[in-house]
Amino acid sequence: MRKSVQLRIFAMVLFALLASAATAHAQATRTWVSGVGDDANPCSRTAPCKTFAGAISKTAPCGEIDVLDPGGFGALTITKCISIETDDASVAGVLVSGTNGFVINAGATDVVMIRGLTFDGLGTGLSAIKIISAGAVFVEECWINHFTGNGASTGAGVDIEPGAPTTNLNVSLREVKIRDNATAGTFAVFVKPAAGITVKAALDNCDIENNAGGLRADGGQVSVRNSQFSFNSGNGVFANGGTINLESTLISNNGANGAVAQTGGTVRTSNGAIFDNTGIGLFNNAATVISFGNNSIRGNGTDTSGTITNVGTQ
């Protein structure tokens, strides 16, 4: 009897180990999705899945999900290191209504890479990409349209509001186009880390156009290069406690102010052009604004207001 019990225990342990090994083996380092795929498939190149949600469970941590052909691949919650990419030949859509596109809620050191996708909120979607937790997030060559945010002072396009377990978060947006996200009080890009969390973000060659607001930093540090904030109905850039660095950036034709610093915020601008904004072009509202003496500021309702510290060209 005792030997029989021991054999049964041994068999149960062996079964668990084999099942675990089979599950691990089932996760591939690269998977594929297709507009004509099926989530019952193994997500291989010859038998692709239908959605990103179907593929991610079959993709190993730090693996890659690739798009084979045009399609709409659905909303996704990302909880691990992953890359999601498409080439220039395929239109990979994330169409959502009344919810977020991608929610990133990964580990404190996980890296998430997103490249070549088109996000469309269809006029009711919340945020295209909402970052709750990660170590680093890289978004490249993506288009974001028609999201509403989730109430005032949120990011209708990219909403960066990390909490635990994140301690240090880096976010990079390169060649990202964010347009027509026009719910009042929201911003195309919004940064608001929880207390004790460091956020550093970089925007390079980004177009932020025709939104309710452009960029708002309620904390953290955002560096912007070779980008434009135009035709937004509110402010172009707004440092509300955070720091925004602007290099070779156009801020024009916004319905409120061009670049604003308030509530302990800082705006630094170099080689910039701030033209034809309805309100104040460069506005220090009891905060810190530093100009490196090589900016062009003309045609605004009022070109400058408050103390602008000019530190030359160094």
**Weakest-pLDDT range from 25-29, 215-219, 229-233, 304-308:** 25-29
Mean pLDDT, range 181-187, rounded to an integer: 94
- How far is Cα 103 from Cα 6, in angstroms, rounded to an integer? 46
- Which residue spans within 182-248 are E strands per DSSP? 187-191, 198-204, 207-209, 215-217, 221-225, 228-230, 237-240, 243-247
In a domain, 177, yes or no: no
In a 3-state reduction of DSSP, which class is residue 55?
helix
Residues paired with residue 84 on neighbouring β-strands, in sequence order: 65, 114
pLDDT tens, residue by residue, 287-301: 999 999 899 999 999
For the segment 18-66, what is each residue's pLDDT rounded down to a tens digit? 444 444 446 999 999 999 999 999 999 999 999 999 999 999 999 999 9
Per-residue confidence band for 92, with pLDDT thresholds at 50, 70 and 90: confident
Give the span between the Cα atoms of 161 and 153, in whole angstroms: 11
pLDDT at 167 over 70: yes
How high does pLDDT run on average in the chain?
92
- Residue 183 maps to a domain: no
pTM: 0.91
Residue 140 inside a domain? The answer is: no
Q: Compute the average pLDDT of residues 64-82.
A: 96
Element (H, E) at 8: helix 2-26
Task: Report if residue 190 sits inside a domain.
Answer: no
Q: How many CB atoms lie within 10 A of CB 302?
A: 12
Contact (Cβ atoms closer than 8 angstroms) between residue 182 and residue 217: no
Residues 254-276 pLDDT 10s: 999 999 999 999 999 999 999 99
The backbone torsions φ and ψ at residue 10, rounded to the nearest 5 degrees and listed phi first, read: -60, -40
Closest CA to 275 of 310, 231, 240: 231
274 assigned to some structural domain: yes
- The answer on pLDDT for 82 being more than 50 is yes
The span from the CA of 209 to the CA of 35, in Å, is 30
**How far is 156 from 162, CA to CA, in rounded Å?**
16
Q: Is residue 225 a part of any domain in this protein?
A: yes
Residue 9 pLDDT > 70, yes or no?
no
Give the residue carrying structure tokens 């290099």: 247
Range of the domain at 277: 213-314
Q: How many domains does the chain have?
A: 1
Q: Would you say residue 110 lies in a domain?
A: no
Asked if residue 231 belongs to a domain, the reply is yes
Short-list 157, 169, 154, CA closest to 106: 169
Determine the pLDDT at residue 151: 81
